[in-house]
Structure 1
Amino acid sequence: MDWKVLLDIVVSVLMVATIAYATRLNSRLAALRKNRDDLARTIVGFNEATLRAESSIPKLRKAADEAGQSLQERVEKAQSLRDDLAFMIERADTMANRLENAVRSARVEGPARSGAETAAASRAPASGPAPSPGPAPSLASGRPSPSRSAQQAAVASASAAAEYGLDDERSEAERELLRALQAMR
């Protein structure tokens, strides 16, 4: 064989191999271009999401500040209510002590006292803690005292009043309250 023919055959085989390789390379490049377009769309979407997130950060800060202010106002209001309740409990305990001392003195002094004297004694300062100036005990206002000892004192006072015939001085609301307190026992 001739060297020329043999050389042509080798070049032809190499050309066929190059064409096959170029075809595979072309298909891979097409897939890469397609993936590059998808990647570009993904990057654009990510950039848009980042911009939206950055623009909503001030709104979130503003909402957090408003929520913090609202919470602070509620805390301050709750503290004020707590202080008011503590004051009311303190007053109720003082009134309960006054009622308890009045009931004791009414039991000790017995039926010799008149109804007016007993009412005056229940309003007079007792030997317990110094009562604060203010309205009469909670029985006169028609509302029960929030403390348990005040309820017990009111029941005891009602028992003493019934025992010594002092119910005539009480209003209908006070009598209903006393009956309700006695029913709670």
Structure 2
Amino acid sequence: MTTLEWVLQGALALGLLVALPVAVRLERALTGLRRDREAMAASMKGFAEATREAEGATLRLRAAADSAGRGMAEQTASAQALREDLRFLVERAEGLADRLDAAIRQARGTAPAAARPAPSPVPSPVRSPVLSPAHAIPHPAAPPSLAEEEPAMPRTRVEHELLQALIRKRVS
């Protein structure tokens, strides 16, 4: 072997010795990338699953919101009907209170409210009227009173209390 061959073989051996640690580091880096790729694939699968769950939750939330909206619409419609019923009852109670007021005034012998002079502009303190026993709910043994003059329907306790409140409001 000539010196040139020895030099070339020495250079080749030296190059291999220098390349060996670089190759080992490259192998480790490639192994890490493969592991990262597997972790990335697992992350992508997890992300896809989370996306599907979020879409399902969104659909369920939308269905719940629609259901709640329909329920609120039904309650609103029911409340509208109840409001109309209450308005009717209030109008009826006002009519009954007017009739009762007229009957009381007639029984006491006083003029109707339209014929009386207007109240003074100075406000008077609010006081509740003192009602006589004749204005109370009649007992079975009690003589007939003005409350019994209305034919047809007997009054419930709530109707009676409402009429009393309306009378107190008008008197004060």
Q: CA deviation at 1:18?
A: 1.1
Question: Aligned equivalents of 2:28 and 2:94: distance in 1?
Answer: 93
- Which amino acid is the alignment partner of residue 87 of structure 2? A
Match of 1:174 in 2: none
State the identity %. Answer: 32
Taking a change above 3 Å as real, the CA distance of residues 37 and 77 of structure 1, as seen in their structure-2 partners, is same
> 1:142 matched to which residue of 2?
156
Contact kept, 8 Å, 2:97 with 2:163, in 1: the verdict is: yes
Matches for 1:87-102 after TM superposition, within 5 Å: 87-102=88-103
The count of aligned residue pairs is 137
Cα distance in 2 between the residues matched to 1:82 and 1:103: 31
The answer to whether the 8 Å contact 2:104/2:146 transfers is: no
- Correspondence 1:10-159 to 2 at 5 A: 10-54=11-55, 59-108=60-109, 119=146, 123=150, 140-145=154-159, 150-151=164-165, 153=167
- 1:104 CA drift (Å): 2.0
Letter in 2 for 1:22: A
- Paired residues of 1:92 and 1:150 also in contact (CA < 8 A): no
Instruction: State the 1:78 CA deviation.
Output: 1.0
- CA RMSD after TM alignment: 3.8
Change (3 A) 1:147 1:90: farther
Q: 1: CA distance between counterparts of 2:90 and 2:47?
A: 61
Work out whether residues 96 and 149 of structure 1, in 8 Å CA contact, stay in contact via their aligned partners in 2: yes
The offset of 1:45, in angstroms, is 2.7
Partners of 2:13 and 2:5 in 1: how far apart?
12
Once the two structures are superposed, residues 21-48 of structure 1 have per-residue CA deviations (whole angstroms, 9 ceiling, x without a partner) of: 1111111111111111111122223333
TM-score normalised by length of structure 2: 0.59
Q: Runs of 5+ in structure 1 lacking a partner? A: 110-114, 124-133, 158-185
C-alpha displacement of 1:61: 4.4
Q: 1:6 to 1:83 in 2, by over 3 A?
A: same
Determine if contact 1:144/1:151 at 8 Å carries over to the other structure: no
SS at match of 1:72: helix
Deviation readout 1:129-156 (Å, 9 max, x if unpaired): xxxxx966xxx41323498674252799
Q: Cα 1:30–1:73, aligned 2, differ >3 Å: closer, same or farther? A: same
The structure in which a higher percent of residues are helix is: 1
**CA drift at 1:57:** 5.5
